[in-house]
Structure formats: C-alpha cells, structure tokens
Amino acid sequence: MIRQAHVVRPHCFDDYFLNLLKNIYINRNISVEEATRWISSPPTNTYFRVNTLVTTPSDVVSSINEQLLKLKRVKCDEDKPLIKIHKDLDDCIVISPLKQSLLDCNPKNEEIIVDIVTGQSVLRGSHVFAPGVMGMTPDIKIDSTISVYADLAKKCKRGYQKHYDNPLKMYVGNGIMKMDRKQLFGGDMNPKGIAVEVTDSISGIPGFTLPATDGLLQNFPSIVASYALDLNGNDNLKVLDMCAAPGNKTSHIATLMKNQGCIDAVDKSKTKLKKIHKKCEEFGLENVRVHHFDSLILVDVNKRNSSTNKPPFQSESFDRVLLDAPCSNLGQRPLLKIETNENLVKSFHVLQRKLFGNAVELLKPGGILVYSTCTITPEENEQNVAWALEKFAQLELVAINPVAGAPGLPNFGLSDMNCELVQRFGPDNVENDSIGFFIAKFRKK
C-alpha cells in the first residue's frame, strides 16, 4: 500500500514562534496560518545570479532553457517553466516552477529519511547528498525510484534500517537512488556524493547544472543588498564586507565593480574563508582581499597598524561597508521545524549593534553603509535601524534602488517616512517571493 504524504502543520513550530509571526504580520493583515504556510514553503521562484565577467544573462537563459527542454515531462514550450531576466536586476535570472500537472508527486513504497536541512534543500531544487541521509531500508537498490521524507521530529538515528513511522515526517519528493546502504552507512563516517537524484520535488522547482564560473543560485534579496551599495560607475572604491563568508555577496560586489577598486572580505571562521577563496577563483575575481579576523575588533583603536591592506583598519577607511549581520535566520525558507525563544532572539541584536558601531567608525564621510539580515524579527531589523539613527547623528537613512521589497513594519521605532526607506521581504512580497530578509541603507553625513 502506498503511504500518504505528511504535510507541515503549525504544530511543527513552537508557541513562541507562532506568537512572533502574529505580532509581526498583524499590521500586514496576514494571519498566523498564512504566515506559517509561507515560512514552511519554498520561494515560488528560483534566482540565479550571473557572473557578468565571463558570460551574459541571455546566454545563461538559453542554457537553462536547453536543459529544461530535455526533461522527459516537458513535451513542448508551453510545459517549460518561464525563464527570464529580472526586470530591475539585469544580472538576475528568474526561474519559475514546473506545472504541478507535470510532476510525479505520488509517494512510493520505497523511501529514505533525510535531515531537515536536506529536506529544505530538496524543496529548493537540490539533489540529496550523502551526508543528509539518515535512514533507509536494506532492500533499496541503486536506480530504484524512491520517495524522500524529511524528519521534522529529529528522531531518526543515522543508519536506521527499518520503515520510519513518525507523524512528523514530511514528504518532499521523489527521485532515483544513486547509492546503496553500504555506501552510505558501511563504515565511512563521511560519505560524499549524490545519494538521490531528485526528479520531482513537491515544490516543482526544477534542477539544472551550469559551470561554476557562470554564476550561482542566490536568494533574491541578497542580490538586492549588493546593488544597494551603489557600486556602478565608481572604479576606485574601497569596500568592506564585514561578515563575508561564504562569499556570495562578496563575489557579487566584486563583479559589480568589474574587478576594479578593492574589497576587503572579513570573517572570523577560518573554515568558511575557504569558500570565499574558491568562489573568487571560480569567478576570476582579482580585487578581493580575504582576511581571517573578528569584525568585533576590526577598528584599530590604538592606531598601531600602519598597513591599510589588513585588519584592524583605521577609522574612516572605506567608501562602502556591507554589514550582512549574524542573525536568528528566521527568514530562511522553507523552515520545516522551528524551536526558538525570546532570549535567543534578543541575544543577536546585542551582537549586531556592536558590529554596527564598528561599521560606522570605519565608514568615510559621504560613504554608504548597508545593513541586512536574513530574519524577520523587528528586534534585529526595524528596532536596530531606529537605534542607529538615534545613536549616530552622522547617519541618515536613504532610499534603496530598486524598490523590490515591502516597507518596514510600523510601531517598532521607525517613522512612516523611514519605514518607506527600508525594505522588508516577507509573505506580502508576492512579485518577488523569496526568503524573509531586511535591508537598510545609510549615508554618513
């Protein structure tokens, strides 16, 4: 008998988070049920940011179209997802999902269990990689068609070899098994490679492959954040990316600067810095300096460092500063299970404000500071902006172009005019549906 798929329901989220959603979106006339459905589902579209140093957006569109036409289920152009260049961002490709009628989303008898992160990735168009597989029965063979379930309960132990019967497992799609149980759990604690080639995700997001040099999949608001720095037409800018890993925004900044000027990319995680180096090498970027350093101590307060090429940096050293701050990550989608609390959320804005103070100190007069987070809480967004405007008289909030998000939330410290200047991405961004995100742009007077 084919088992029925399990669906995400509000009980996958704790009471604190449900109340948080209610308070955030009450002024948007969005119910908790609507907000929950939004946060637990993947963005409608996929976004691919093109490396314009080596290729063109039109060439990338053609390449993706060619691949999608080879899908067996795509019989004609009408079946193919819409692939287009974004109307406001000319290096951003928008890929719509496949029609539900073209998908085989009927759960199969054979199934594997994956962790939550892997389940979320499948809903974003990814294959299942070996480290994400938690359990599978011994009789599943390579090249068999199987169903993929995400373990929302976090109860499946790695290597589990029976049918996993838990009400909090969520069906995310079907695929072709590419590794057997021995390869996944037969002594190798770090298996690598694609374990399941996903053919049908319930989200309908299609998979495709492009050379690493051509660009990368990137969340839409992250692309907007780089544009907010106003980089075009300035050849000799000095830019600071304070929390740079894994380097997606760093590579975009360098590309928008056309390999001119200089970007200092700083992160305290030595392991993550390898990703920045790799991305810069793949993209052919030559104007990025990568530093293993803590941005909490990034200002040379004692003026002991005579070098301008490495941290700590002297005050007012940069024309542009990007602070994509560490945050509670409550805007990431799809979120299939959330357990958080008020103390954890409030701990982030303390860190964010310390980093923000350093960003202001390092910015030249007349320079631009962009503050962004991938979360939805007012404490980390609107309230931080209100605090910054009160604390730093030399800062003014300025408009972000293009206008792609919704205004900021009222009643969290910002005037109506300032709410219009920031951009918040959430369930009310129907046209540019993406993750939950927030961007504010300041100019230092």
pLDDT tens digit string along 126-174? 999 999 999 999 999 999 999 999 999 999 999 999 999 998 899 999 9
Task: Report the CATH number that the domain containing residue 128 is assigned in CATH.
Answer: 2.30.130.10
The backbone torsions φ and ψ at residue 135, rounded to the nearest 5 degrees and listed phi first, read -155, 150
State whether 417 and 369 are in the same domain: yes
For residue 29, how many C-alpha atoms fall within 13 Å in the half-sphere facing its CB? 0
Is 177 inside a domain boundary? yes
Q: What is the mean pLDDT of residues 245-256?
A: 97
Separation CA 365–CA 34 (nearest Å): 43
Is 106 inside a domain boundary? no
pLDDT tens digit string along 305-354? 777 789 999 999 999 999 999 999 999 999 988 878 889 888 999 999 99
Q: Which amino acid would we find at residue 45?
A: N
Candidates 156, 243, 374, 419; catalytic one:
374
> 3-state SS of the chain: helix, strand, coil percent to 5?
30, 25, 45
- Rounded to the nearest integer, the mean pLDDT of the chain is 92
State whether 146 and 242 are in the same domain: no
State whether 280 and 368 are in the same domain: yes
Instruction: Indicate the residue among 147, 174, 201 that finishes a domain.
Output: 201
- Strand 363-373 and strand 318-324: the pairing is parallel
For residue 61, how many C-alpha atoms fall within 13 Å in the half-sphere facing its CB? 15
Q: Tokens 């939330």 belong to which residue?
A: 409
State whether 153 and 227 are in the same domain: no
Is 352 inside a domain boundary? yes
Separation CA 227–CA 220 (nearest Å): 11
- Strand 238-241 and strand 262-267: the pairing is parallel
- Residue 374 is among the residues annotated as catalytic for this protein: yes
Instruction: Indicate the residue among 170, 201, 232 that finishes a domain.
Output: 201
CB under 8 Å to 289, separation ≥6 — which residues? Answer: 262, 263, 264, 265, 309, 310
pLDDT tens digit string along 9-57? 435 788 899 999 999 999 899 999 999 999 999 999 999 999 999 999 9
- Predicted pLDDT at 50: 98
State whether 266 and 325 are in the same domain: yes
Cβ atoms of 423 and 331 closer than 8 Å = no
State whether 299 and 403 are in the same domain: yes
The listed range with the strongest mean pLDDT (77-86, 102-111, 409-418) is: 409-418
State whether 308 and 414 are in the same domain: yes
State whether 359 and 276 are in the same domain: yes
Is 308 inside a domain boundary? yes
State whether 276 and 314 are in the same domain: yes
Separation CA 370–CA 267 (nearest Å): 17
Q: What is the mean pLDDT of residues 284-297?
A: 97
Is 78 inside a domain boundary? no
Is 366 inside a domain boundary? yes
Q: What is the mean pLDDT of residues 410-432?
A: 95
Instruction: Give the residue among 178, 184, 48, 198 at the shortest CA–CA distance from 123.
Output: 198
Q: Which residues pair with 47 in a beta bridge?
A: 94
35 C-beta neighbours (distance < 10 Å), count? 25
State whether 191 and 248 are in the same domain: no
State whether 191 and 236 are in the same domain: no
Task: Report the CATH number that the domain containing residue 275 is assigned in CATH.
Answer: 3.40.50.150
Domain around 141: 111-201
The yes-or-no verdict on residue 229 having pLDDT over 80 is yes
Q: State which H helix or E strand residue 195 sits in.
A: strand 194-201
Separation CA 180–CA 143 (nearest Å): 9
Q: State which H helix or E strand residue 373 sits in.
A: strand 363-373
pLDDT tens digit string along 380-411? 999 999 999 999 999 999 999 999 999 999 99
Q: What is the mean pLDDT of residues 200-221?
A: 92
Q: Which amino acid would we find at residue 317?
A: S
pLDDT tens digit string along 60-100? 999 999 888 877 677 676 777 899 999 999 999 999 998 88
| Confidence tier at 6 by pLDDT (50, 70, 90) | very low
Q: State which H helix or E strand residue 397 sits in.
A: strand 395-398
Looking at the structure of the chain, the number of domains it has is 2
Is 336 inside a domain boundary? yes
Separation CA 191–CA 8 (nearest Å): 29
Instruction: Indicate the residue among 168, 201, 234 that finishes a domain.
Output: 201
The yes-or-no verdict on residue 8 having pLDDT over 60 is no
Cβ atoms of 85 and 58 closer than 8 Å = yes
3-class secondary structure, 394: coil
- Predicted pLDDT at 233: 66
Is 213 inside a domain boundary? no
State whether 314 and 197 are in the same domain: no
Q: State which H helix or E strand residue 174 sits in.
A: strand 169-177
